[in-house]
């Protein structure tokens, strides 16, 4: 259940990250939400590695949003530099 909960939080975090960082993303809202899921998973993993969360505990909404924003910034930087990704 923890993994599914992390995905749900990631969906919400991706939507919030899109509202915090508006702009045109090459993949649109779907890619942004998927990046939110990745951000939540990274925040969960990092929080457990640092000791903020115990095993089986996921990142909270704030951690997931921060993770999603970081992943979104990196994604935008990579897409801007590589014309092959832009299509």
Query: pTM higher than 0.75 for the full model?
Result: no
Alpha carbons 57 and 75: distance in angstroms, whole number: 26
Q: What integer best gives the mean pLDDT of the chain?
A: 75
- Higher-confidence position of 57 and 85: 57
Per residue, the 3-state secondary structure of the chain, as one string, reads CHHHHHHHHHHHHHHHHHHHCCCCCCCHHHHHHHHHHHHHHHHHHHHHHHCCCCCCCCCCHHHHHHHHHHHHHHHHHHHHHCHHHHC
Instruction: Dump pLDDT digits (tens) for 32-68.
Output: 778 878 887 787 788 778 877 776 666 677 777 888 8
């Amino acid at each position: 259940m923890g993994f599914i909960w992390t995905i749900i939080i990631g969906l919400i975090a991706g939507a919030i990250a899109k509202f915090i960082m508006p702009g045109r993303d090459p993949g649109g809202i779907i890619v942004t939400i998927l990046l939110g899921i990745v951000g939540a998973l990274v925040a969960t993993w990092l929080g457990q590695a640092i000791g903020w969360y115990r095993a089986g505990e996921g990142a909270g909404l704030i951690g997931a949003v921060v993770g999603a924003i970081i992943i979104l910034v990196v994604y935008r930087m990579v897409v801007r530099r590589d014309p092959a990704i832009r299509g």
